[in-house]
Amino acid sequence: MAAQIVKKIKKPYKWLLTISQAGLTIALIILVLPYQLTAQTSAPDSIKSMPTWGKVIAAGALLGTGWLLDKPAWQWSKNHPCEFGHRASEFSDALGEKTIVVPALLTTFAGSYLLKDEKLKTTSWTAIKSVALTAMATEGIKIMAGRQRPFVEGDHSRFSPFNTDDRYKSMPSGHTSLAFAIFTPFAEKYSRWIYLMPATVAIGRVYQQKHWLTDVMVGGGLGWISGYLLTHSNKKIVIGPGGLVIWF
């Protein structure tokens, strides 16, 4: 009886958390992304000169292709299990595991002060901000989309919005978005070979049948956009409704 009462008390708070996360995501889109997308970056001239509708069409075509490949990629991973793939994907998971990479990132940021390395300090601080933005967007979209994970029924078109069950939090991939959010600033400032690290996370999540191909595409896109724009943006002020100014 007591357990039932506690469960009833907790339920409203769970929905309150869900609504709050959705609100944070909407706020992120309204306040941050429109500003960031207009900021000057060091992107190639061919990309910067592309009209907005062209970028939207290109992104849509990419996701559409991913959608068509969702089932074939899932079926391939299901029909080709191997010990090496299992071990490799377990290792790559660690690169997107928040309990591992976030403490490592914070340690790197603290270590940059001891080393008096300004480049490392700036890059790691950018990665921290990138993680904060990406985490809000990722969790909010997961709950609002409510996409069923591949291992449940193998149906990539099954959505249950605002479902807090982890089996319905497939899109976007949190491991992939976190990995790209962290490693993108370092890849842009040090070596783009570093992109191989978050890429292996994305491949591993699909191989383990934890996510669909489009899940890791969306997650990787969120993390990469956040990390890339925060790295290259010349302006760091976001002006919101009512004259709200946020230094980021």
Task: Look over the chain and give the mean of its residue pLDDT values, rounded to a whole number.
Answer: 79
Domain assignment present for residue 194? The answer is yes
- Is the pLDDT at 238 greater than 60, yes or no? no
pLDDT band at residue 30, thresholds of 50, 70 and 90? very low
Q: How many domains does the chain have?
A: 1
Cα-Cα end-to-end distance for the chain: 49
Domain assignment present for residue 122? The answer is yes
Model confidence pLDDT, tens digit, residues 174-233: 999 999 999 999 999 999 999 999 999 999 999 999 999 999 999 999 999 999 999 987
Question: What is the CB neighbour count within 10 angstroms for residue 163?
Answer: 18
Q: Which residue has the higher pLDDT, 110 or 34?
A: 110
pLDDT band at residue 247, thresholds of 50, 70 and 90? low
pLDDT band at residue 83, thresholds of 50, 70 and 90? confident
> What average pLDDT does the segment 59-86 reach?
88
pLDDT score of 57? 82
pLDDT score of 216? 95
Domain assignment present for residue 34? The answer is yes
d(CA 148, CA 160): 7
Percent of the chain, pLDDT > 70? 72
pLDDT band at residue 62, thresholds of 50, 70 and 90? confident
Domain assignment present for residue 196? The answer is yes
In the structure encoding, which two tokens stand for residue 42, read together?
């060091």
> What average pLDDT does the segment 100-117 reach?
92
Domain assignment present for residue 49? The answer is no
> What average pLDDT does the segment 121-125 reach?
95
pLDDT score of 56? 74
What does the angle CA 61 – CA 193 – CA 66 come to, to the nearest 5 degrees?
20
CB neighbour class for 222 (10 Å; exposed up to 12, middle 13-18, buried from 19): buried
CB neighbour class for 129 (10 Å; exposed up to 12, middle 13-18, buried from 19): middle
Domain assignment present for residue 60? The answer is no
- Is the pLDDT at 4 greater than 80, yes or no? no
pLDDT band at residue 105, thresholds of 50, 70 and 90? very high
Domain assignment present for residue 217? The answer is yes
pLDDT score of 3? 43
CB 55 within 8 A of CB 221: no
Domain assignment present for residue 46? The answer is no
| Host domain of residue 183 | 2-38+72-247
